[in-house]
Structure 1
Amino acid sequence: MASVLAHVNEVWDRQRKNSPIYALLLENVELYHAEPGLIKARLPISSLHSNSKGTVHGTLSACVVDWAAGMAIVSHGATSTGVSTDLSVSYLSTAKEGDIVEIEGRTGKVGKTLAFTTVTMSKEVNGKSTIVIQGSHTKYVRQ
């Protein structure tokens, strides 16, 4: 069986081809770690991801939560990321063009019909990790 990272990247490649919004906003995301229940990725922030004030747009934040939650679900061996039932984003700091954000998606529980996930997006400031957003996402996963 392929490694967890290889499996998650395979699903991600398929999903990216079928999702214009993911292809646009997450074109440069690097998914570099996956184990059951956890994925890690990084994304360089560009002008495409920015609002009128030059900081990360809420659209990107919600997109990242949706994507990372789905990839965390896939890390359990699933071939589908599920259907959103609830998504929440808390904005704790901000990032701007040129920053590289770290994305971590975790599953809290993947049951028979629902999966509960958390996502954190952070950046490094003066050698210290600063959380930019925290999100939670519940997905319907019955297959």
Structure 2
Amino acid sequence: MAKDTPAQALEAVSPLQQVLNVWDRIQVNSPIYNFLLSDVEIYYAEEGNFSARLEVGPKHLNSKGGLHGVFSACVTDWAGGLAIASCGLESTGVSTNINVNYLSTATTGDWLEIRGYANKVGKSLAFTTITISKCTSSGDTTLVAQGSHTKYVRTR
């Protein structure tokens, strides 16, 4: 039986496994991600997008008891990279632009649904959109923050 070529071996990795592999690698090397996102659960991915959830804890809050803006910006950075990873890239690039719109808030005990979308991954730039929503006890969701993230990537 012939062995897979490196390209075939990469194809065998599902988008979810690819995202999890990249997350495992970057979490170890990023103290801020490790601190803020150590409890995140990545549960779904297909090429170009992924989903995760996280329960809000005290370390995610600002002085008024609401979700800290820095947390939402960090999630936008993190999720943009993992959306790119869902497209099969090992290296998720370097940020060139990040924007976050703060639309609502969340507090301790709320569950956040995080979704990352790779809108376009080109030869040198990748464009992503991130949503952070709060899940209510009735099953509804409220959009808390929406971000866009552009990264320099090298796909060659």
The bucket for the TM-score relative to the shorter chain is over 0.9
Bigger share in strand: 1
Runs of 4 or more, structure 1, over 4 Å off, are none
Instruction: Find the counterpart in structure 2 of residue 66 from structure 1.
Output: 77
Q: TM-score, normalised by structure 2?
A: 0.89
Gaps of 5+ in 2: 1-11
Q: TM-score, normalised by structure 1?
A: 0.97
Instruction: Find the counterpart in structure 2 of residue 137 from structure 1.
Output: 149
Q: 1:84 aligns with which of 91, 95, 98?
A: 95
Gaps of 5+ in 1: none
Q: 2:106 aligns with which of 89, 92, 95?
A: 95
Q: Which amino acid aligns with 2:131?
A: T
* Deviation readout 1:92-140 (Å, 9 max, x if unpaired): 0000010010000001111000000000000123432110000000000
Identity %: 58
Instruction: Find the counterpart in structure 1 of residue 44 from structure 2.
Output: 33
RMSD of aligned residue pairs (Cα, Å): 0.8
1:13-52 paired onto structure 2 within 5 Å:
13-52=24-63
**Secondary structure class of the residue paired with 1:71:** helix
How many equivalent pairs are there?
A: 143
Instruction: Find the counterpart in structure 2 of residue 117 from structure 1.
Output: 128
**Secondary structure class of the residue paired with 1:48:** helix
